Amino acid sequence: MFQILSLFQISPTELFAIFAAFVVAVTAHQFGHAIVAHRAGDPEPRLQRKLSLNPLAHLHWVGMFMFAFLGFGIFNSAPVSHYRVLDDEEPQHKDNDAEHSENGEQSDEDIARSEREAKRKAEEQILRENMPELFVDDASVAAAEWHGYAERQDFYAALLAGPLINLVLGIIFTMILRQQELNPGFTAALLNNLIAINFIFFFLSFVPLPPMDGWLALLSFLPRERAMKLKEHEMNLCYLLAGLIILDFVINSNIFGLPVELRVVDYVIGSPARILQSTFMGR
């Protein structure tokens, strides 16, 4: 897919370098999401135990082995409460006089806010009845009672934190590689893969298909009704992304002699990642 490896030609040194680079990129990416979301008040990272630089808290092991051997894999979604941003909140500090009409009746905004609050309470009650294990500690209760991000930009900051950390790491490792004249070996392989995988993660994050970060951003831009309708097709869209990635792998393997023009994912993600790497390498 991104020409990181060939399954039948990879050396043990290269394989270990890919694993190590993958672990660094995923851990940094997920921790970036988690720490920014946590600072914005989102309890999800704490509940998922993502507030750690321990790779074991962030890795999807099946996905990691798939990525190393096949060039594609399964990844965890960003540890943020994306469903808490589908309802666009009205500003919390409004003049009470503006919320009512002159005759004392409730305004449309006030009615809509009351309906949203009633809906939240109904959803919480359903959770308490069907998943009581979610309410066994203070953090879980806080998550259930939390109404969402006070500012939408906090949500987008949490989403952007992951790919931006990958971008910064890719640039740093590129600068290191530029300053060193390394002979072929583990260190050179590790640096090259750290650069490639971090840049790939950066562009991959913006794909508006599940389970990528771009998918959560897309849902947040849509009205709640449309977002929920689109979420009904989430699994099919996951299959679509997986199919596109597998198609790239099949074309690169030249198994069926398919034209290279069909490598959609490589054009959208792989090519920009290679261009970015070449730019910072000064080539």
pLDDT digits 0-9 by tens, 214-228:
998 998 888 878 888
Q: Average pLDDT, stretch 65-88?
A: 64
Residue 35 lies in a domain: yes
Within 13 Å of residue 133, how many CA atoms lie on the same side as its CB?
1
- Could you tell me if 78 and 113 lie in one domain? no
Residue 5 lies in a domain: no
Both structure tokens of 63 = 């996905």
For residue 182, the enclosing domain spans 12-86+148-281
Q: Average pLDDT, stretch 168-176?
A: 95
Residue 3 lies in a domain: no
Residue that terminates a domain, selected from 143, 165, 184: 143
- Could you tell me if 235 and 95 lie in one domain? no
Please state the domain count of the chain: 2
Residue 96 lies in a domain: yes
DSSP code for 151: S
Greater model confidence, 261 or 122? 261
Residue matched to tokens 């006030």: 110
Selection from 161-170, 210-219, 262-271 with the highest mean pLDDT = 161-170
- Could you tell me if 157 and 203 lie in one domain? yes
112-121 burial by CB neighbour count: b if 16+ within 10 A, else e? ebeebeeebe
- Could you tell me if 35 and 106 lie in one domain? no
- Could you tell me if 191 and 223 lie in one domain? yes
Q: At what angle do helices 152-179 and 12-39 cross, to 10 degrees?
A: 150
Query: Does the N-terminal peptide bond of residue 132 adopt cis geometry, omega within 30 degrees of 0?
Result: no
Residue 261 lies in a domain: yes
Return the closest-CA partner of residue 4 out of 168, 173, 190, 182. Answer: 190
- Could you tell me if 20 and 109 lie in one domain? no
Residue that terminates a domain, selected from 125, 143, 161: 143
Q: Average pLDDT, stretch 243-248?
A: 86
Residue 6 lies in a domain: no
- Could you tell me if 170 and 196 lie in one domain? yes
Contact between residue 99 and residue 107 where contact means Cβ atoms under 8 Å apart: yes
DSSP code for 268: I
- Could you tell me if 170 and 188 lie in one domain? yes
Contact between residue 52 and residue 31 where contact means Cβ atoms under 8 Å apart: yes
Residue matched to tokens 């750690």: 52
pLDDT at 140: 55
Residue that terminates a domain, selected from 118, 143, 168: 143
pLDDT at 132: 58
pLDDT in tens, 179-227: 887 778 889 999 999 999 999 999 999 999 988 999 989 988 888 788 8
The one-letter amino acid at 258: L
Contact between residue 280 and residue 171 where contact means Cβ atoms under 8 Å apart: yes
pLDDT at 68: 57
